[in-house]
Chain A
Amino acid sequence: MKGLTVFRSWEFMLAVVLVLELLVLGLINPAFLNIENLLFSTSDFAHVIIAAIGLTLIIMTGGIDISGVSIMGLASIVLGLAFIAGIPIGFAVVIALGVGIAAGALNGAVVANTDVNPLIVTLATLFLYAGVATGLPTLLDILGFQAYGAGGFEAYQYEGITGLPKTFTWIGSGRIGWVPMPLVIALLLAAAATWLMLFTRFGRYLKLIGVSPAVAHFTGVPIKRTLVAVYAMNGFAVAVGGLVLTAYLGSARSDLGSEALLSIITAVVLGGSSIYGGQGSVLGTLLAGFVLGFMRQGLLALGISSDVVPVLIGVLLVGSVALRIGLARLSTARANRAAFAAERMAVEGNGGMP
């Protein structure tokens, strides 16, 4: 019985889809199945998975944060500027992550303390953080910080900051054994988030709030504190994603990751999280992230234009939700029919009225 439910789970279906995808792509183009290439290609989308893991925790509570893609760029440019300003790279990383956490916490504070829809709150901060990220170089100039080079910080407004030290770019291009660092980091974060969801009180709070904020309130769940914390965690995750991508590309840019929003949300929703909250798994998000990422790689390897990729991702997103809605309706209808039949039989057996 218990084994059956494992095979029926959404995560298992995703795993099957992932294997099938790799097999089909491999059959068409055997070169695709080269393990080393396959592993290496994850570096192209590891930042999507990392951001999607953070978002999974938020969607668990029934919220959403679309400003993550801006926080990625913000963290990246903060790191780059700090580096240029001569701050040791390790400390620069800490500052960038701190900015990410603060940006996320601000989202959380507004969401927790008002009834404004999280979508609107984070839409506003999507603009705000993106604007701050692009404007930061000039602001630093205006504030009188001395930058090295003729153009001041402003020179870095539109072009990336390159020349980052090897110790830093290693987290984007290095590898442990065969496994590239971005994937290692994504897996570590996924493991941490899974542990948080399954084994900590905090993870349970997220689920309780997502299932019913009202019941959670009556039950004594500290809703505000939990929300601020989870949005801050997402800020941390996307900042990590931003830094990983920065290291991988070897360039700190303010518009880094801005294209990733659709992929991130698709990974979370395809991974089985309900946009209404209370349902979802980090493992599902991870698997869905791989399905999406390899699909892109595979199509490109087949020589299909990358233009088709967003069409497919969109169809996948909508299709997976439609499928889940359909399945849920079927099972409810079946349960109601069974209950009615049983009840009617019981009453007729008793001779009608009690």
Chain B
Amino acid sequence: MIAAAPSSVPLVSLRDVWKVFESVTVLRGIDLDIYPGRVLALLGGNGSGKSTMVKILSGAYQPTAGVIEVKGVPTVLSHPSDAHAKGIYMVPQEPHIFPNLSVMENLTAGLKGDPDANEARALTVAREIGLDTDFDSPGGELSIASQQLVEITRGLLRNARVLILDEPTSSLTRREVANLARQMKELKARGIGLLFISHRLNEVLELTDDTQVLRDGRIVLNAPSAELTTDMLVEAMLPADFAPPSDITERDPGTASSPSDKSAVLSVRNLSSRLFRDVSFDVYPGEVLGISGVVGSGRTELAEAIYGIDAFAKGEVHIAGRAAPRRSPQISQAMGLSYVPEDRHAHGIFLALPSSQTVTAGLLSLGRSRFMKRDHELSLTQEFIDRLRIKLSSPLQVARTLSGGNQQKVVLAKTLAPAPRVIILDEPTRGIDARARQDVYRTIRELTAEGVGVVVISSEVGEIAEVADRVMVMRRGRLVPLPGGPKSVEQISAATFAANGAAA
């Protein structure tokens, strides 16, 4: 159903591609085409399978099943250099820079053929696409935007016909994004096919020709970008069983809907760090504060600063009414603040251990006891298995073998075990299935009923609308003021993704 079907043969296609990792199915039959001179946008929430798909396209992973076609010919890409030879190059989200090599060495790394000729060409190409820097200085000193230009240059030096840009704008400034947009247009004009991956809906609509939306490893929307609106994109990214939410009518913490005699369980005043500035807010018992923000908006850095991971934050934090000038994960938890991190595998769960050991890990440093009580560990885990509906064969099942949703519930159990007064959930439903998602939301409601203050950080506006009592939007390290009164999903989307020029 490719509208405005380009007459030419696609440069690269995926046909019914599947991928399974660690017993978890990530891609479920993907079809996709990239045409010369067109920009295809790929949208999808965290964990939707985007990055896996991109790695299959670039030869870093092999599909479990399915075919990759290059100009209509089935091809096996067993190594990134195979993909390069076929004219496919990926510009990764975090550019692969060799910090200790010079910029020139970074550009020519991995190129075959005469080194001097390569350097001369690299210089020409780099200048053409606007990379203007001291080519002898170490690569580690480049700004992120320049690092991305280095990656694009690398692709062009390999005569790439297809360039994959994996969330290129997530850590760029506005001006840098504008420059990137200009370069993309140039590349299009040369007949290069682009796959553009982004979180920012307005960029997708402005910069691309076609859009595909990926959800839970499947393509759920495929249409020309010109026919789409941000609302349609937001809707496509929402879970299948998601009921369109009504507007969020904010409860004033001082009104009857929230008992006024309760003081804030978390209050943040003028908190600043490297990646966010001057953030102030309060969280009251029994309410859910939603913080809407995309990757790179400073939302995760904010959460980590409050929780005590980032030691460089300046400002005041009060947890459960007590000042917390020095914070560490241990101190925060002891004072009643828990945190569910954004990156489950890197920061949340002990993958190689029995699930029960993750569940009790947070409790250990809080209790007085220096000894393990195995029976208690098992019964506590069982309690959470019942409460959160975690599906596992026994509390001793190794966490790695659980599905994403159940892993997230185990992390949630770890965070809830110390019975926190306030809890920050960062992307709590990233990459988990619809049922697990509902269980997470149900747990959040149960917590508020018990009087716990909850902060939900998410880049999915639908999620914010579903769970939040009050909304804040974070963009580029600052809170964006929103108009008073009920807020529609559209308003929040607009502020979060900076669509329609709705800036502060």
In the bound complex, what is the Cα–Cα distance between A10 and B370 (angstroms)? 29
B329, A211: Cβ atoms closer than 8 Å: no
A201: chain B residues within 8 A (beta carbon): 364, 367, 369-372
Do A279 and B365 contact each other (CB < 8 Å), given the known contacts A219-B329, A336-B20, A354-B218?
A: no
Name the interface residues of A215-229: CB closer than 8 Å to any CB of B. 215-222
- Stretch of B170-178, B184-192, B346-354, B464-472 with 4 or more beta carbons under 8 angstroms from chain A: B346-354
A219, B414: Cβ atoms closer than 8 Å: yes
Name the interface residues of A35-87: CB closer than 8 Å to any CB of B. none
Q: Mark A323-345, 1 if CB is under 8 A from B, else 0.
A: 00000000010011011100110
B312: CB under 8 A from chain A?
A: no
Do A343 and B28 contact each other (CB < 8 Å), given the known contacts A217-B329, A332-B22, A354-B218?
A: yes
B357: CB under 8 A from chain A?
A: yes
B25: chain A residues within 8 A (beta carbon): 339-340, 343
A221, B23: Cβ atoms closer than 8 Å: no
Q: Which A-chain residue is minimally distant from B415 (CB atoms)?
A: A219
Name the interface residues of B393-407: CB closer than 8 Å to any CB of A. 401
Q: Which B-chain residue is minimally distant from A337 (CB atoms)?
A: B20
Please pick, from A211, A216, A343, the residue contacting B352 in the complex, using a CB distance under 8 A: A211
A215, B350: Cβ atoms closer than 8 Å: yes
In the bound complex, what is the Cα–Cα distance between A219 and B417 (angstroms)? 12
A220, B352: Cβ atoms closer than 8 Å: no
Please pick, from A200, A214, A220, the residue contacting B365 in the complex, using a CB distance under 8 A: A220
A256: CB under 8 A from chain B?
A: no
B24: CB under 8 A from chain A?
A: yes
A250: CB under 8 A from chain B?
A: no
In the bound complex, what is the Cα–Cα distance between A332 and B29 (angstroms)? 22
A207, B353: Cβ atoms closer than 8 Å: yes
A200: chain B residues within 8 A (beta carbon): 370-372
A212: CB under 8 A from chain B?
A: yes
Do A214 and B64 contact each other (CB < 8 Å), given the known contacts A335-B22, A344-B18?
A: no
Do A214 and B351 contact each other (CB < 8 Å), given the known contacts A201-B372, A338-B23, A343-B25?
A: no
B293: CB under 8 A from chain A?
A: no
A121: CB under 8 A from chain B?
A: no
Chain A: interface secondary structure?
helix
Do A204 and B64 contact each other (CB < 8 Å), given the known contacts A219-B414, A220-B329?
A: no
Q: Which B-chain residue is minimally distant from A339 (CB atoms)?
A: B23
B328, A220: Cβ atoms closer than 8 Å: yes
In the bound complex, what is the Cα–Cα distance between A9 and B430 (angstroms)? 35
B28, A347: Cβ atoms closer than 8 Å: yes
CB distance from A228 to the nearest CB of B (A): 16
A222, B330: Cβ atoms closer than 8 Å: yes
B401, A215: Cβ atoms closer than 8 Å: no
CB distance from B371 to the nearest CB of A (A): 6
In the bound complex, what is the Cα–Cα distance between A279 and B354 (angstroms)? 12
- Name the residue among A201, A204, A208 with the largest chain B CB count within 10 angstroms: A201
In the bound complex, what is the Cα–Cα distance between A343 and B367 (angstroms)? 42
Name the interface residues of A188-238: CB closer than 8 Å to any CB of B. 198-205, 207-208, 211-212, 214-222
Q: Mark B328-370, 1 if CB is under 8 A from A, else 0.
A: 1110110000010100001111111100010001101111011
B309, A211: Cβ atoms closer than 8 Å: no
B22, A354: Cβ atoms closer than 8 Å: no
* Number of B positions contacting A (CB below 8 A): 42
B347, A215: Cβ atoms closer than 8 Å: yes
In the bound complex, what is the Cα–Cα distance between A198 and B377 (angstroms)? 13
In the bound complex, what is the Cα–Cα distance between A340 and B329 (angstroms)? 38
B332: chain A residues within 8 A (beta carbon): 220
B240, A354: Cβ atoms closer than 8 Å: yes
- Name the residue among B24, B362, B365 with the largest chain A CB count within 10 angstroms: B365
A208: chain B residues within 8 A (beta carbon): 350, 353, 357, 361
B361, A347: Cβ atoms closer than 8 Å: no
A339: chain B residues within 8 A (beta carbon): 20, 23-25
Q: Which B-chain residue is minimally distant from A354 (CB atoms)?
A: B240
A278: CB under 8 A from chain B?
A: yes
Do A222 and B218 contact each other (CB < 8 Å), given the known contacts A201-B372, A211-B353?
A: no
B351, A212: Cβ atoms closer than 8 Å: yes
A4: CB under 8 A from chain B?
A: no
Do A202 and B23 contact each other (CB < 8 Å), given the known contacts A208-B361, A222-B330, A340-B65?
A: no
Please pick, from B29, B65, B347, the residue contacting A218 in the complex, using a CB distance under 8 A: B347
Do A211 and B351 contact each other (CB < 8 Å), given the known contacts A217-B309, A336-B21, A340-B18?
A: yes
In the bound complex, what is the Cα–Cα distance between A204 and B361 (angstroms)? 8
In the bound complex, what is the Cα–Cα distance between A259 and B437 (angstroms)? 58
In the bound complex, what is the Cα–Cα distance between A198 and B357 (angstroms)? 12
B401, A335: Cβ atoms closer than 8 Å: yes
A215, B365: Cβ atoms closer than 8 Å: no
A347: chain B residues within 8 A (beta carbon): 28-29
A220, B20: Cβ atoms closer than 8 Å: no
A150: CB under 8 A from chain B?
A: no
CB distance from A270 to the nearest CB of B (A): 20
Name the interface residues of A298-339: CB closer than 8 Å to any CB of B. 332, 335-336, 338-339
A214, B346: Cβ atoms closer than 8 Å: yes
CB distance from A208 to the nearest CB of B (A): 6
CB distance from A219 to the nearest CB of B (A): 5
A220, B362: Cβ atoms closer than 8 Å: yes
In the bound complex, what is the Cα–Cα distance between A253 and B24 (angstroms)? 57
A204, B364: Cβ atoms closer than 8 Å: yes
In the bound complex, what is the Cα–Cα distance between A279 and B353 (angstroms)? 9
A279: chain B residues within 8 A (beta carbon): 352
Do A215 and B18 contact each other (CB < 8 Å), given the known contacts A208-B357, A220-B362, A221-B365?
A: no
A218, B18: Cβ atoms closer than 8 Å: no
Do A215 and B28 contact each other (CB < 8 Å), given the known contacts A201-B369, A204-B357, A344-B18?
A: no
A204, B23: Cβ atoms closer than 8 Å: no
28 cross-chain CB contacts under 8 A: A200-B370, A200-B372, A201-B364, A204-B361, A204-B364, A204-B372, A208-B361, A211-B353, A215-B347, A215-B348, A215-B350, A215-B361, A217-B329, A218-B329, A218-B341, A218-B347, A219-B329, A220-B330, A220-B365, A278-B353, A279-B352, A335-B22, A336-B21, A336-B23, A339-B25, A343-B20, A343-B28, A352-B29
The 7 closest A-B pairs by CB, nearest first: A220-B330, A220-B329, A339-B23, A343-B25, A340-B20, A218-B347, A335-B23
Given A200-B370, A217-B309, 17 more pairs with CB closer than 8 A: A207-B357, A211-B353, A214-B347, A215-B350, A215-B361, A218-B329, A218-B347, A219-B329, A219-B414, A220-B332, A222-B330, A336-B20, A336-B21, A343-B28, A347-B28, A353-B218, A354-B240
Instruction: Give A residues with C-beta under 8 Å from B.
Output: 198-205, 207-208, 211-212, 214-222, 278-279, 332, 335-336, 338-340, 343-344, 347, 352-354
